[in-house]
Amino acid sequence: MTRLLGVIGDPVAHSLSPYIHNHWLRENGIDAVYAAIEVKADELAASLESLCAHEAIGLNVTLPHKESVLRLAATASDTARRLGAANTLVRTPEGQWHAENTDAPGFALTLDYGDINVEGREVFLLGAGGSARAVADVLARRGARLTLCNRTIARAESLALHLAPAARILSLEDGLAQLSRASVVINTLSLGHSGETLRLPESAGGIFYDISYGKGAAAALAEARRKGWRALDGLGMLVAQASLSFELWFGAAPDLAAAHARARSLLEAVQ
């Protein structure tokens, strides 16, 4: 019987995850299919129950469900609990969902591959959602001088309290006004999907990293390059966390470099 996997979120039609995972499934001779499944916020609990009943064996989770899905899972890893967010679900033999977080180790891998050293550097993190929690945790553990910028101050304060107690907290408006202080800016806000634009100051060699990719990140990355920033998208993070998810489901670790090259070629073809 062909088994089901997928990524749930809203929006999700743009996701490259099905292309990445279905290639790995074919490559490993696994009888399964991976699909993008749009799930609205008020449909999450029912959708998880339905997918479990249909014996889906694993799911990735994207906006806006990473925090909610953790509360709905029967069990969770220590990392997911500590971060307060999950991006991967594994169906247990008992027919329940177990929550994991591969965003944090996936982001850490991209810093290593991108030769990005954040220790002692001024890093501004835009956003305080599920993905931002994983990013903030890695940055704090690596010694970044972290500033958290978010529309809702209380949300950023909660993130800092649990994961980055030394971080400075600013409103998003104040943070954007002070970006000239940053040597690294990491955007976790879904600005490109909502049609908003991000105005950056001029930079002489700073790093701008948008964890989105494709059309969702295009405007911000173009703005960053115009202003002198080294601009990176989130495709590397997508592939890295996907590889870690695949290993959780099947015990096999795909080739990251080859997967990233395929994903980059596909992204360029569809843009």
- Indicate the pTM of the whole model: 0.93
What single-letter amino acid sits at 225? R
pLDDT of residue 215: 87
Percent residues over pLDDT 90 in the chain? 89
Q: What is the mean pLDDT of residues 12-31?
A: 95
Does the structure show a pLDDT above 70 at 52?
A: yes
Confidence of residue 1 (pLDDT cuts 50, 70, 90): confident
Q: What is the mean pLDDT of residues 229-254?
A: 96
**Residue pLDDT, tens place only, 110-153:** 999 999 999 999 999 999 999 999 999 999 999 999 999 999 99
Q: State the residue for tokens 């001024």.
A: 122
pLDDT of residue 194: 58
Torsional class of 177: left (φ above 0), alpha (ψ -120 to 50), beta (otherwise): alpha
Confidence of residue 197 (pLDDT cuts 50, 70, 90): confident
DSSP string, 224-244: HHHTT-EEE-SHHHHHHHHHH
Of 40, 66, 215, 227, the catalytic one is 66
Q: What is the mean pLDDT of residues 169-181?
A: 96
Distance CA 44, CA 10 (A): 10
Percent residues over pLDDT 70 in the chain? 98
pLDDT of residue 195: 58
Output the average pLDDT for the chain. 94
Q: Confirm whether 227 is a catalytic residue.
A: no
Looking at 56-171, list the stretches that DSSP marks H as alpha helix, in order from N- to C-terminal side: 68-72, 78-83, 103-113, 130-141, 153-163
Distance CA 195, CA 45 (A): 29
Q: Maximum Cα–Cα distance for the chain, whole Å? A: 56
Q: State the residue for tokens 């701008």.
A: 208
